[in-house]
Amino acid sequence: MRHLTETLRIEILMMIGYGDMCRSQQQVTNLFNGKYPYLPPLFQATVSKIHAQFREYGHVKPLRRTPHFIDENVKVNILLAFQEDPTISTRQVARENVIRPF
């Protein structure tokens, strides 16, 4: 779904239609792939995700990730680790303090 611009996502919604004039997701997939043969092929699951996102959020813009917060105690431990050994790698400090990469 990342290769699709917001304009293409909106076009997919227009291809689906509304009310009693709706196409199936497979029909939309075939129609889109026929109209844009130079793009990577669209799958039915992608159409389903775009439609579900529009129904849930009311838009098809890419969703933002939730911010990652670090506990104050972990912050202090990280500062102490660098104070004790300034040459320690950031990956090692992250592993020791159970911090997931962004």
Q: Which 3 state secondary structure label does DSSP give 41?
A: coil
Residue 84: inside a domain: yes
- Count the domains in the chain: 2
Residue 1 domain-assigned (yes or no): no
Taking only the tens of pLDDT, the chain with its 102 residues reads 668 899 999 999 999 998 888 999 999 999 999 999 999 999 999 999 999 999 998 999 887 777 677 788 888 999 999 999 999 998 898 888 887 765
Do the domain assignments include residue 48? yes
Give the residue from 47, 49, 37, 62 showing the smallest Cα distance to 17: 47
Written as six digits, the tokens of 45 are 């699951």
Domain that holds residue 49: 6-57
- Asked if 43 contacts 29 with a C-beta cutoff of 8 angstroms, the reply is yes
Same domain, yes or no: 13 and 50 = yes
CA 61 to chain centre: 10
Same domain (yes/no): 42, 70: no
Whether 91 is covered by a domain: the verdict is: yes
pTM: 0.62
> Given the structure tokens 């813009």, which residue do they identify?
61
